[in-house]
């Protein structure tokens, strides 16, 4: 185990579990170096089925240089339909080649447009739209550019197998993208929200300049930090920072002095971004809990007394087993051996909390870790009883993610599959051990 990169430590990922020096290099030098194929639990009917019973056209799209949301927007515009009639199971990154299913309500195959960087395959019809819950996981094929020591990959794989009890495995951290790759502040905003500090949350988003930002952006953030002059700040903030400008308009109109003014400024943001702030705060606490567990030398592949485990789902797709966090069980001293056998067979997973209103913390040393992290962050479960999109009941998440990872040389390429919610970069950080900015 060795210390992680400072940027990773800033979001709670304190360590690498492998000691071997990294291979170096960078990801996403070209879109084709990062390939993702989505795996969904979703069955399509033949195209010949009635459109009355099956009004959704199911297509498989391979996208190069397209963010999922941007593609859906362009597709709906070209079809002359509302964006709400296009659905998918998981959102994918622009800087990759991605393959995933889409459902489109009320259109025929001949209606589909031709778009640059897009290959569309008609799969069939469906009686409902795709939902996030239909996503099972993703298959990755990722090449590393300019690796300094590609020969180190095999030794790292051996260490990760030792950590995972025979299978390549890593702590199931939330990756850098969760917090903002270039400006990791979403968790800071969320922590202020959970502490009922609406002004602090706004200033963490509007101010708080970062070294990796353009000079113009940093100067605007410094100005608003120093002056709190919301109207004048509108002249300083570039128009591309549209969310910040929307917040400034609200503050300038309302005066920007009372907690309600700052809360209203946050609520002008898209609802998914409001929720993301709180989720990032939960994710940061989760990462810290995993780092502390590593530091104390507690196992990740099996429970100790006081842990809470979840069981695997019952899908027939057994080569990509998912934790079912709705099926939880506390591990008592008497049950450690029995639950350990379930974990060894892939039927159970040790978890840690994504803390929310309904969270019940563990007992023993795992519970001690959970409480210590929350105390350090000045948080408790009831703090997430928040208005609107900021509310979170909480859940649990497996602390380990395992995969069969194949490594090829020349070019150095990693092929593996991960369950939904786990990050490819969290596995690859162990191999590269570089600045997260080089991982895209």
Catalytic residues: 93
Cis check for the bond before 411: say yes or no (omega within 30 of 0): yes
Cβ pair 248, 269 in contact under 8 A: no
Is the separation of the CB atoms in 22 and 432 below 8 Å? yes
Q: At what angle do helices 242-254 and 259-267 cross, to 10 degrees?
A: 150
Q: In whole angstroms, what is the distance from residue 283 CA to residue 274 CA?
A: 15
- The phi and psi torsions of 150 (rounded to 5 degrees) equal -60, -25
Distance between CA atoms of residues 234 and 244, nearest Å: 9
> Going by C-beta distance under 8 Å and a sequence separation of 6 or more, which residues neighbour residue 425?
27, 175, 176, 177, 436, 439, 440
Within 8 A by CB and 6+ apart from 200, the residues are 192
**In the structure encoding, which two tokens stand for residue 395, read together?**
């859940």
d(CA 197, CA 405): 44
Q: Return all residues near 93 (Cβ < 8 A) that are at least 6 apart.
A: 34, 36, 67, 440
Which string of DSSP letters, residue by residue, matches 147-158? -S-GGGHHHHHH
Neighbours of 90 (CB within 10 A): 21
- For residue 39, how many other CB atoms are within 10 A of its CB? 23
């Amino acid at each position: 185990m060795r210390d992680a990169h400072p940027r990773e430590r800033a979001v709670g990922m304190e360590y690498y579990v492998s000691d071997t020096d990294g291979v170096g290099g960078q990801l996403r030098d070209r879109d084709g170096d990062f390939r993702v194929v989505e795996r969904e639990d979703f069955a399509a009917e033949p195209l010949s089925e009635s459109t009355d019973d099956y009004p959704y056209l199911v297509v498989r799209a391979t996208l190069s240089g397209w963010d999922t949301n941007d593609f859906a927007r362009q597709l709906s515009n070209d079809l002359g339909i509302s964006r709400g009639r296009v659905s998918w199971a998981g959102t994918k990154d622009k800087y990759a080649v991605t393959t995933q299913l889409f459902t489109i309500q009320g259109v025929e195959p001949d209606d589909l447009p031709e778009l640059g960087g897009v290959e569309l395959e008609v799969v069939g019809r469906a009686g409902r739209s795709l939902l996030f819950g239909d996503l099972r996981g993703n298959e990755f094929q990722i090449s590393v550019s300019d690796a300094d020591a590609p020969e180190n990959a095999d030794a790292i794989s051996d260490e990760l197998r030792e950590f995972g009890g025979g299978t390549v495995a890593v702590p199931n951290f939330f990756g850098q993208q969760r917090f903002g790759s270039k400006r990791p502040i979403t968790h800071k905003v969320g922590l202020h929200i959970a502490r009922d500090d609406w002004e602090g949350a706004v200033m963490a988003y509007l101010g708080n300049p970062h070294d990796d930002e353009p000079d113009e952006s940093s100067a605007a953030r410094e100005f608003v930090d120093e002056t709190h002059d919301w109207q004048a700040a509108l002249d300083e903030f570039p128009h591309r920072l549209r969310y910040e400008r929307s917040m400034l308009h609200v503050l300038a109109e309302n005066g920007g002095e009372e907690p309600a003014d700052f809360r209203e400024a946050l609520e002008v943001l898209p609802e998914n971004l409001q929720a993301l702030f709180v989720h990032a705060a939960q994710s940061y606490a989760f990462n810290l809990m995993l780092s502390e567990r590593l530091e104390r030398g507690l196992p990740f592949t099996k429970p100790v007394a006081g842990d809470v485990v979840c069981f695997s789902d019952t899908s027939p797709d057994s080569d990509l087993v998912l934790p079912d966090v709705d099926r939880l069980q506390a591990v008592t001293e008497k049950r450690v051996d029995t639950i350990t056998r379930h974990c060894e067979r892939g039927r159970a997973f040790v978890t840690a909390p994504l803390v929310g209103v309904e969270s019940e913390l563990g007992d023993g040393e795992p519970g001690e870790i959970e409480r210590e992290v929350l105390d350090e962050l000045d948080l408790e479960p009831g703090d997430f009883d928040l208005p609107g999109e900021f509310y979170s009941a909480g859940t649990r998440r497996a602390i380990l993610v395992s995969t069969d990872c194949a490594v090829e040389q020349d070019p150095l390429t990693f092929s593996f599959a991960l369950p939904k919610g786990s990050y490819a970069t969290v596995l690859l950080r162990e191999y590269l051990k570089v600045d997260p900015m080089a991982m895209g």
